[in-house]
A and B are shown apart, each in its own frame.
Chain A
Amino acid sequence: MAQNLWLKEPHQQAAKKLLGHSYRSLRLRYWIAGDRTAWVLDEIGKEEPITIGVVIANNKIQDVKILSYRESRGGEVRHPFFTSQFNGLFLRSNDRLSERINGISGATLSVRAVSNVSRFALFLHKQIVSP
């Protein structure tokens, strides 16, 4: 069953650092089983929000999926050749992903959105599993 996370000041501070702005809603949905969590997050690519699903286990990304892509360009981020790059990555102490994500020409903002959401999901996971 989906759990609710009401975003409080520390979450929004982290969002500002990781996404570059506060998260646009007050509540988030996630699923949890043991030390595994799944998050559904929205982030603006260029103009439209991209709905991104992130599964995290043991503080590492297990899977990233683009659940809804609404922009007219940059949809290449939906493909596994891009999303599979996130598998196994974790958040370093400097808030960067443990490895560099290869960009896609013409989809810079969408790539940035997926990367930022992955970082935010890793932060949220840590808050839930080992606060």
Chain B
Amino acid sequence: MALTRQLTFSQKLHRRVGVTLALFLCLLAMTGIALNHSDEIGLDENYVPGWIARLYLGSTEVLGIQSSNHFFYSLGGNLLVDRTTISRCTRLQDWASLDDQEVALCDGELILLSPGFELIERVDGALGLPSNITEIHSTGPEFLVLADSQWLSLDLVSLKLSRVAFDGHVSETDWRPVPMDYLLGESVTWQQFILDVHSGVVIGLPGKLFTDLVAILLVLMVMSGLWMWHKTR
């Protein structure tokens, strides 16, 4: 009698928890399949619509450098000019405009761009650039980098470095908030969004904890199912 009561209670609990979990299991399965074929369906190359990106950005203020009617900024590990992703860049440190090219200082590396913002090349330590560059500056004919508190002249064609006695005034980089319209363009890939839905991170810590709870309940479902199967044999 006690066993029958226990079984009835377990079956009810098993059924109710199962029905509750079904929706989330479907979601987990579908997002899991999508992530598994991320490369084939180009999830990492396509961006979510602005209204989803807005969920991510919220009221976050992204600072960028405005020059010649363009905004230069880093977001989501990329360097962007206005709404277009140019190259990878975790942290944009400085920007300089030369006559025939634009130069960004990102993560200690120089990113050289054509006047039309095509990537010419990345110049980093592998090409002999000092690893501790903190500022860049253009004086017109010369391109200067500040490394270890010492201004060096860098020839961007030969990559030859030479010490210069530059004591001119370098104005502080003018960081301004990037307009939200720009940020919503290519900021969040479908891969990131689906991964965040899959793990629950999309709604922050509560989502993460909820996903943990779903996982624990799934384990309990397996155990209670096995227990009921064993008792009714």
Contacts and interface: CB of A to CB of B under 8 A. Distances in A.
Interface of A: 1-2, 4, 24-29, 40, 42, 47-49, 51, 53, 67-68
B126 A40 contact: yes
B204 interface: no
Given A2-B158, A4-B157, A25 B121 contact: yes
Contacts of B157: 4
Given A2-B158, A2-B159, A51 B126 contact: yes
Interface size class of B (residues with CB under 8 A): 10 to 19
B201 to A, nearest CB: 18
Interface of B: 44, 87-88, 112, 114, 118-122, 124-128, 157-160
A29 B114 CA distance: 16
Contact of A2 (B87, B120, B127): B127
Contacts of B118: 26
A2 B158 CA distance: 6
B122 A25 contact: yes
A2 B159 CA distance: 8
17 contacts: A1-B158, A1-B160, A2-B158, A2-B159, A4-B157, A25-B120, A26-B118, A26-B119, A26-B120, A28-B121, A29-B159, A40-B126, A40-B127, A48-B88, A49-B88, A51-B124, A68-B126
